[in-house]
Amino acid sequence: MPQPASRKGSVIQLASYQQPEKTPAPTDWSAFLKQHELSDADIQTLVFEKHESRQFKDVIGIIQACLIAGRPQPWMYQVLALTMEIEHYPKEEVERVLLSNNDFRPLDVPNLLVSAAYLTRFGAKVQALSMYRQASRLAPSRPEPYALGLKHAKDLKDQDAIIWAAEGILTYDWSTGFQRRHDDAVDTTTDLISRLKKAGNTQLANELTSRLQEASIRDLDIRLEWSGAGDLDLAVEEPTGVVCSFENPLTPAGGTLVHDGNGGAPKNGYDHYVCGKGFNGVYKITIRHAYGDIVSKKAMLVITEKAQSSKPVITQHPINLTSDEVKIEFELKTGRRKAERTLEIKPSTLQETREKARVSTLEFLRNRRRQLASTPDQPDPSAGAGSIFVGQQAVGYRPVVTTLSDGVSLAASATVSADRRYVTLNLAPSFSTVSDVFTFTFLGGNQNNTQPR
């Protein structure tokens, strides 16, 4: 709900509107708006007052009168739908209000995703899935519609939608946690294929199997592995000239740096580059020794062409770290990409990425690492590649990632006595539980920077 313009004690002060002595009936609100010149802020305050006093029929009447008079505001459709739900309006009417929201707001992917989320809130999964599919047509390489749509497709047992979502996830979703979503897409599709075979629909089952295998193929898969507490950095200059690295992990040519390891733990000692569909041409691979000790000063570079296919071509390159930088070239001849993909978050400029990729001094990498380590609370510029929603009515949106503890943790500090005979332990146990997770999104906005609640 929109917040009032200002408060003084319990009296709400409006810019030009004064509460009438007798509140008109809901059916009189159209005439009321014609008789009184109310600003957008006045309407917001009036709706807020009615909602606070639980006069929900008046809230509905005011918003409907504003829409009829051609005075919509971004928050009105959501507030109207929620209020109608409180008043137990038929679900069809609530859904119609949410669908009308797209007539007011620009038809783009963020608006479609937000509208689909509201339809999901009201249980309108068919309509929400339709919006996710429409969003994927507007931005085919954006992963959110596929990831969000797969759950609805499974609940609705929509075979065509399941394949659509699974293909999209396997092809375009390389953001954080992609492996879990890939596995879910494969498991869901495999289960569908198994059910089709049991039902005797072998032809469709074989067709879906072929489509799943095609979507799983990665034209180029590059993995750099090492042991030791040090850090190596992998950078791949693609045939278009754009460099994919830890600073620019997502490129229009289809490349994604899905993992940037930093040594220490054996399971973290690797960098991983994936190009689901890539251009034919020469890929220039650069391996930089960022810092720390690498066991035997050796690493292994594994290049796989047509990964996840029935006949992958694997090439291994032992790397001797005799210098801070090692270069290897690989020519891809079986690439399937015909055009660059459109990225919602633009990569660095071509000249900038080329300069960063060709810097061969160890000092640059050390300074960059120190900069990232010294600002742990600030999001890495590359983190935006995995964002799902963009704040509306805003110039930009930078998510702040916070780690939530779940379970039992114990902090301990020890104090040794002066005679070194006793040790005193101070124990501080902590019990925390994440009870539930809700999807939150900002609902529009207005000139007064007020937010619906």
Tokens of 175: 């953001």
- DSSP type of residue 419: T
The domain limits of the chain are 7-213, 218-369
**Distances in Å between the alpha carbon of 21 and those of 13, 24, 140, 233?**
16, 9, 56, 71
What are the pLDDT digits (tens) for 237-284?
999 999 999 889 989 999 999 999 887 777 889 999 999 999 999 999
For residue 137, count CB atoms less than 10 angstroms from its CB and return exposed for 0-12, middle for 13-18, buried for 19 or more. Answer: exposed
Place of tokens 């009296």: 11
* pLDDT value at 231 more than 60: yes
Place of tokens 């008043």: 87
What are the pLDDT digits (tens) for 287-320?
999 888 899 999 999 999 999 999 999 999 999 9
Percent of residues, the chain, with pLDDT higher than 70: 71
Spacing of C-alpha 397 from chain mean position: 12
- DSSP type of residue 253: T
Segment 355-358 long-range contacts (CB within 8 Å, at least 24 positions apart) = 356/243, 356/245, 356/247, 356/248, 357/235, 357/237, 357/243, 357/245, 357/286
Q: Give me the pLDDT at residue 218, please.
A: 95
- Reported confidence tier of residue 70, pLDDT bands at 50, 70, 90: confident
CB 230 within 8 A of CB 293: yes
Spacing of C-alpha 304 from chain mean position: 28
- DSSP type of residue 15: S
Residue, of 403 and 353, whose pLDDT is higher: 403
Q: Give me the pLDDT at residue 125, please.
A: 87
Q: Which residues contact 6 (CB under 8 A, 6 or more apart)?
A: 12, 13
Q: What is the C-alpha to C-alpha distance for residues 220 and 283, in angstroms, rounded to an integer?
A: 10
CATH of domain 7-213: 1.25.40.10
Rg of the chain over all Cα atoms, to the nearest angstrom: 28
* pLDDT value at 69 more than 60: yes
What are the pLDDT digits (tens) for 88-127?
899 888 888 877 766 655 567 887 787 787 677 667 788 8
Q: What is the C-alpha to C-alpha distance for residues 246 and 257, in angstroms, rounded to an integer?
A: 7
